Amino acid sequence: MGKELDRSYWQGPNAAHRRVMYKGAGFSDADIKTKPHIGIANSFMEGSPGSAHLRTLAEAVKQGIWQAGGVPIEFGIPATCGNLSNGAEELKYELAGRDVVSMSVEFVTKVHHFDGLVMLASCDNIIAGTYLAAARLNIPSIVVTGGSMVPGNWKGKQVLAPDVDVAILSGNNEDLTDMEECVCPSYGACAVMGTANTMQILGETLNLVIPGTATIPAPDLRKVRSARDAGRHIIELVKMDLKPSDLITRETLLNAIMVDMAIGGSTNAVLHILSIARDLGIDITLDDFDKLSAEIPCICGVRPNGPYNVVDLHNIGGLPAVMKMLEGKLHTSVPTITGKTWKEELADVRVEPSAVLSSLENPLHKEAGLKVLRGNLAPKGAIIRPSGVPEDMKYFRGTAKVYSNDFDALKAIQSGEIKPGDVIVLRYEGCKGAPGMKEVMLSTDALVAFGLHKSVGLVTDARFSGFNHGPIVGHVCPEAFDGGPIALVEDGDIITVDTIGGSVSVELSDEELEKRRAAWVRPEPKVTKGILAVYANTCRTADEGGAMQTW
């Protein structure tokens, strides 16, 4: 494997204008003409603990690249923190932001003809965007994760960022200011199994992150050393011409799905895995998630599946420990980013079952961390997180109360309009309807804050955060804006959700649904200009990943 580096783009009289630009930026003829050029896509941004430390890691990456004989060329890519827009309408930008990140990396990489890429990211859809860019560009690529934040301590108990969200909505402001000072005591992604840490961990399984490095806590200096190692290793990948299409196969993606089930990962991982598969032309559908959810229970006790945090998971071995527990189920003959197979990578991994990470034989939860539901309310599928659903709510039947945005549902919860036994139907917040498939954090957090998460269901065509727990069904497809059955539900209809049986339905006859469909009128778009309008006009449906992929 491997091929000679093509330097023709930088050589000869016709490339003088390119060389002039690089020389003006401080590079020499030897740098320009003979060495591999590695793009460093850095999502550094000062407004979030998940990205404010990435300059330090980028410098370590560049040191490694220089040491290995390459030329690092750093550029910036967009970065946000989903928690910053929690409770605001701007949260709908997050999923579209994944595609903006991917396109930003693509734009710079294509123009500059990089031979390889190292991307630095930590948070939610930003890190997912770097994975999508790797798949789309298909040149040797590594992602360096920002790692996890360490948990805070408030009044002698562990606190994490989601605790503030619930405290705000509970209406008890007495200690809120003190808690604010404690929940984010370091750089890194919030230390729960939200989208950020889920995608960091899955990056190792996807062969885009070096094994054992994703969960290194952000303040740990091993994170800097691993970043330098990544800089050296990208040169090896370039020499071997080892590309994402070589390392991300159908079996690789099935491994990622199994790991997501086992760790009780964020439901957003479904969207990201489906989008990566689509870009690489690999046949992965919701049926694969459905099949594997019956085989792989949740074995990880990191919040919201248990009381622990991602640092606890790292301390017992991180992703390699999880994969060791799953070894008998995984496709271990597939290659890894190190050049070894997963069988070889896992040969020396030692892990004992614990409260943080249990075994498949004695799992923390009997069900997977994620399950696909189907029925007349979601013919193309919906998603629930069984490990976060109370036992007595695994099957529930309730009366629909219908809302067309997250804010109205929140007001209904706060005013006491929502009662035990109700099912909130929250629609027109999907990929096209929001647009951007908003995370309905206000409603889901409010259910917990008001003690209703054990007696009230929520069904939506939107997303929900990896922080959330309770009987929440998301990703209902087709979405309301496309005329899906969720658009036809009325107040007082009876909704049934069967987590074990895998169904979500409304107790209406086909004839009644058709009658309502004939009377349904598509609402005007909520957004008509800017990136969200572009996203709404070009995105796939949620069951296909929701990315801006018109091919």
Active-site annotation, residues: 465
Sheet strands (E) in 376-421 = 378-384, 395-403
Residue listed under structure tokens 């496709």:
331
Contacts of residues 52-60 at CB distance under 8 Å and 24 or more positions apart, as own/partner, are 52/187, 53/146, 53/187, 53/188, 53/218, 54/120, 54/121, 54/122, 54/146, 56/224, 57/120, 57/144, 57/146, 57/223, 57/224, 57/227, 58/120, 58/227, 60/224, 60/225, 60/227, 60/228, 60/231
Contacts of residues 85-88 at CB distance under 8 Å and 24 or more positions apart, as own/partner, are 86/165, 86/439, 86/441, 86/442, 87/168, 87/441, 87/442
CA separation (Å) from 232 to 114, 142, 246, 415? 16, 11, 20, 58
Distance CA 132, CA 138 (A): 10
Other C-beta atoms closer than 10 Å to the C-beta of 376 total: 16
Longest CA–CA separation in the chain, Å: 76
Looking at residue 485, the DSSP 8-state letter turns out to be G
Distance CA 215, CA 313 (A): 8
In a 3-state reduction of DSSP, which class is residue 381?
Answer: strand
In a 3-state reduction of DSSP, which class is residue 278?
Answer: helix
Kindly report the backbone phi and psi dihedral angles of residue 503, in degrees, each rounded to the nearest multiple of 5, phi listed first: -135, 150
Strand partners, 401: 424
Q: Provide the pairing of β-strand 457-460 with 472-474.
A: parallel
CA separation (Å) from 321 to 241, 262, 353, 356? 29, 11, 10, 11
Distance CA 138, CA 280 (A): 9
Looking at residue 437, the DSSP 8-state letter turns out to be -
Distance CA 279, CA 101 (A): 15
Under 8 Å between Cβ of 499 and 394: yes
Provide the H-helix boundaries in 450-523. Answer: 510-519
Other C-beta atoms closer than 10 Å to the C-beta of 26 total: 7
Q: Provide the pairing of β-strand 494-498 with 71-76.
A: unpaired
Least Cα distance to 441 among 230, 194, 118, 198 occurs for 194
**Which H or E run contains 117?**
strand 116-121
In degrees, to the nearest 5, what angle opens at C-alpha 320 toward C-alphas 136 and 339? 55
In a 3-state reduction of DSSP, which class is residue 402?
Answer: strand
Distance CA 473, CA 247 (A): 33
Distance CA 443, CA 464 (A): 10
